[in-house]
Amino acid sequence: MQKFLRLLRFGSTFVRLVRDTDRLDLVFALVDSLDPEAPALQAMLARPEVAASLARREPTLRFELTRLRAMPEGSLGRAFAAFLDQRGLDPTGLYHSSPEAADIDAERFKLHMERTHDLWHTVLGFDTDVAGELGLQAFTMAQLGSPLGYMILSAGLLNTLFLAPADGPRRMEAITRGWQLGKRLRPLYGADWVGMLSWPLEQVRDHFGVAPTDVRAAAMAA
């Protein structure tokens, strides 16, 4: 019965996300509906870079806009603050999962991804519109085999088909760009993001293998 109810919640949430792909609360609900024992999720958690990061049991990441804004000009932290400010976002308002549940690998993974998601946007150059989010999901799928990525891409493509066909080419370009970058770059998951906040943004990008042309192409696609 519990599996049936989980599947029912998933189906209802997925349909609503197809209708409105900008609803972050629906993305969170979709994450919460995932079966923690699902083979695809367990395979992702077993990836060497993911397993190594989870085994370190590092403190939960937490970013505050006031501190980010005060970081040196040109640093990743300052660029992250500008990215959030330009879009009217506050990182604390995007925290969904509770750190109290972080003794479970799947929950620690969710926490890390939630709190680094917009950092990945900042480093890679994808915007937060539908095309940019789909591009970043494709990147995540290429690097981690994320089952959530498949679900969000499916919802995004159905939304494109039924509600936004004119934006199809731009969304597909972003997806293609994200997949290619994900296959080529060093893993972003589990990186020392707190330590890198003070690095120059270009140094961070160089560390992962992101070229200036990659950022421009991602921004144009998204």
Q: How far is it, in rounded angstroms, from Cα 54 to Cα 103? A: 10
94-151 pLDDT, tens per residue? 777 666 656 688 888 988 999 999 999 999 999 999 999 999 999 999 999 999 999 9
Q: What is the pTM of this model?
A: 0.92
Q: CA–CA separation, 3 vs 189, rounded Å?
A: 30
∠ CA 198-203-206, rounded to 5°: 145
The predicted pLDDT at position 33 comes to: 80
pLDDT in tens, 30-57: 888 877 788 989 999 999 999 999 999 8
On whether the CB atoms of residues 147 and 44 are closer than 8 A, the answer is yes
Token pair listed for 128: 């937060």
Quote the CA–CA distance of 93 and 127 in Å, as a whole number. 18
Phi-psi sector, 71: left (phi>0), alpha (psi -120 to 50), beta: beta
Q: Is 187 helix (H, G, I), strand (E, B) or coil?
A: coil
Measure Cα distances from 117 to 12, 37, 63, 84, 139 in Å: 25, 23, 12, 12, 11
**Which pLDDT score, from 0 to 100, does residue 1 have?**
63
State pLDDT tens for residues 172-210.
999 999 999 999 999 999 999 999 999 999 999 999 999
Check whether 219 has a pLDDT greater than 70.
Answer: yes
Are 208 and 86 within 8 A, CB to CB? no
In this structure, what are the phi and psi dihedrals at residue 200, rounded to the nearest 5 degrees?
Answer: -60, 140
- Angle at CA 84, nearest 5°, toward 78 and 86? 100
Terminal Cα-to-Cα distance of the chain (whole angstroms): 41
Averaged confidence pLDDT in the chain: 92
Identify the three-state secondary structure at position 130.
helix
In the chain, % of residues over pLDDT 90: 72
The arithmetic mean of pLDDT across residues 78-86, rounded, is 97
